[in-house]
Amino acid sequence: MGLRFYLCFLALFSTFFISTLGLGHLCLPEEHVALFIFGDSVFDAGNNNYINTITDYQANYEPYGENFFKYSTGRFSDGRIIPDFIAEFANLPFITPYLHPGYHRYTDGANFASAGAGALAETHQEMVIDLKSQLNNFKNLESLLSKELGDAEAKKLLFRAVYIINVGSNDYAVPFTRNSSIFQSYTPEEYVDMVISNLTFVIEEIYKKGGRKFGFPNLPPLGCLPLARALIPGNTGACKQELTALAILHNKALSEVLQKLENELNGFKYSITDTYTILSERINSPLKYGFKEGNIACCGIGPYKGINSCGGKRSVKEYELCENASEYLFFDTGHLSEKAYQQFAEQMWSGTLNVTGPYNLKELFECCVRVVTYFECCVIMLLFEWAHSFCNVIAMKFLSFVWTWHSNACTC
């Protein structure tokens, strides 16, 4: 009786002690968390500067970047973009574009985003880095990290990291800007399903490499961007409803698939920010959010300055530039000003549940990620054997509870 009690107590105490203090795993909120970025021009910090493409998909010339960096960096804004602010909030440096020349250890993360990219490879094909190609770049970087840090350290870095993805706008805009007949072959629902399926594949592949914490802005009302309004004959002021309808379908499907992944993938956590509502509110009530103009872009030409000519390096050379970009919601035909991007980033970082959920990015960065070591697995298995041999059913249930708690990839 005494020996059995002693062994039972030892087993239970040891399990609790190991789970609490952690032998080998890293689970303190203050530990270093990297940021990996995927997507399109909303997140691209300059990758397209280094690929063979046309100026439609580049922003490495004036007046882009001039209000903050004082020179053009490849960011589609007058200054910083959303990932820059997220990095700042997380006490990280600006995340380096993956294709930026030079030696990089990437322990703070990497930016794979490419302006013009879509979830579909056919979107601006061979002119940009589509989402699956960005995934391939991430896999190459994972191999590099393993060589430089060792497999164990690289795995810990990828487990702790946060992954943010912004994609879809180009997939839906291209059929309208290029007068494509794609919707003669697919219903809107079928087309959205193709986009979401490709995005889901990429998420699952990142998960296989260790990714557990993901952040997504949903799509804005695409038909209300200056470039979309400019497509409507007669300059009526209306939004292009067919395009906005696709964004609504996409957002519903994205929300559903993320809930599904959370149920199916152990430790998968996500944040989704209601970009659709955030932008709609600022378009409709710009003064409330500190803007004088919510419909017309700062840089461009034509109705709403919706013709993509900002900088005069594209097919249309003429453009007009406002005096103060911070007074404008939109900087160019399809991208926001730095001031607007900061507001969006703040909502992604610390927004409440009515805007960002089920977690915000701040909560994901503070999540405790546990990497269970081989030694711990051996110890836990031995404890199970001891409990099974010497203890009662209650002890077994307690061990099972502790093991489940210990094995969770993320505790927020």
Give the model confidence (pLDDT) of 277-297 as tens digits.
999 999 999 999 999 999 999
Q: Are residues 21 and 36 in the same domain?
A: no
State the pairing for strand pair 109-111/35-39.
Answer: parallel
Residue-wise pLDDT for 35-44, tens only, equals: 999 999 999 9
Q: Among 26-35, 145-154, 261-270, where is mean pLDDT lowest?
A: 26-35
CB 209 within 8 A of CB 142: yes
Give the 3-state secondary structure of residue 34.
coil
- pLDDT in the model for residue 407: 46
Average pLDDT score over residue span 314-335 = 98
The band of 367, judged by pLDDT with boundaries at 50, 70 and 90, is: confident
Q: Are residues 286 and 399 in the same domain?
A: no
The band of 7, judged by pLDDT with boundaries at 50, 70 and 90, is: very low
Burial class (CB in 10 A: 0-12, 13-18, 19+), 315: exposed
Q: Are residues 350 and 383 in the same domain?
A: no
Burial class (CB in 10 A: 0-12, 13-18, 19+), 369: buried
Instruction: Please determine, for residue 265, whether its predicted confidence score (pLDDT) is greater than 70.
Output: yes
Instruction: Please determine, for residue 228, whether its predicted confidence score (pLDDT) is greater than 80.
Output: yes
Q: Which two tokens stand for residue 107?
A: 């322990």
- pLDDT in the model for residue 2: 52
Q: Which residues are catalytic?
A: 41, 332, 335
- pLDDT in the model for residue 18: 40
- pLDDT in the model for residue 289: 98
Residue-wise pLDDT for 138-161, tens only, equals: 999 999 999 999 999 999 999 999
Instruction: Please determine, for residue 376, whether its predicted confidence score (pLDDT) is greater than 70.
Output: no
Q: Give the DSSP H/E element, type plus range, for residue 249.
A: helix 241-264
Q: Are residues 238 and 261 in the same domain?
A: yes
Tell which residue, 215, 163, 247, has the closest CA to residue 357.
215
Instruction: Please determine, for residue 373, whether its predicted confidence score (pLDDT) is greater than 90.
Output: no
Average pLDDT score over residue span 92-112 = 94
The band of 381, judged by pLDDT with boundaries at 50, 70 and 90, is: low
The length of the chain is 412
Residue 312, domain CATH: 3.40.50.1110
Q: Are residues 45 and 108 in the same domain?
A: yes
Q: Are residues 273 and 399 in the same domain?
A: no
- pLDDT in the model for residue 21: 36
pTM listed for this prediction: 0.85
Q: Among 28-32, 39-43, 128-132, where is mean pLDDT lowest?
A: 28-32
The CA–CA distances, whole Å, from 21 to 18, 30, 259, 308, 340 equal: 5, 15, 32, 56, 43
- pLDDT in the model for residue 20: 37
- pLDDT in the model for residue 119: 98
Instruction: Please determine, for residue 24, whether its predicted confidence score (pLDDT) is greater than 50.
Output: no
Q: Which two tokens stand for residue 12?
A: 């239970």
User: Which of 186 and 9 is assigned the larger pLDDT?
Assistant: 186
- pLDDT in the model for residue 315: 93
Q: Are residues 327 and 382 in the same domain?
A: no
Q: Which two tokens stand for residue 63?
A: 């007046």
d(CA 40, CA 44): 6
- pLDDT in the model for residue 374: 44
Instruction: Please determine, for residue 363, whether its predicted confidence score (pLDDT) is greater than 90.
Output: yes
Average pLDDT, the chain: 88
Q: Are residues 220 and 73 in the same domain?
A: yes
- The secondary structure of 146-183 as a DSSP string is HHHH-HHHHHHHHHH-EEEEE--HHHHHHHHHTT--GG
Q: Are residues 306 and 385 in the same domain?
A: no
Residue-wise pLDDT for 56-88, tens only, equals: 999 999 999 999 999 999 999 999 999 999 999
Q: Are residues 194 and 217 in the same domain?
A: yes
CB 82 within 8 A of CB 94: no
Give the residue numbers spanning the domain of 250. Answer: 31-369
Instruction: Please determine, for residue 13, whether its predicted confidence score (pLDDT) is greater than 80.
Output: no
Residue-wise pLDDT for 327-340, tens only, equals: 999 999 999 999 99
Average pLDDT score over residue span 232-246 = 90
Q: Are residues 300 and 385 in the same domain?
A: no
Average pLDDT score over residue span 13-31 = 41
Q: Among 28-37, 198-207, 237-246, 369-378, where is mean pLDDT lowest?
A: 369-378
Q: Are residues 3 and 60 in the same domain?
A: no
- The secondary structure of 188-234 as a DSSP string is HHHHHHHHHHHHHHHHHHHHHTT--EEEEE----GGGSHHHHTTSTT
Average pLDDT score over residue span 370-376 = 49
The band of 27, judged by pLDDT with boundaries at 50, 70 and 90, is: very low
Domain total for the chain? 2
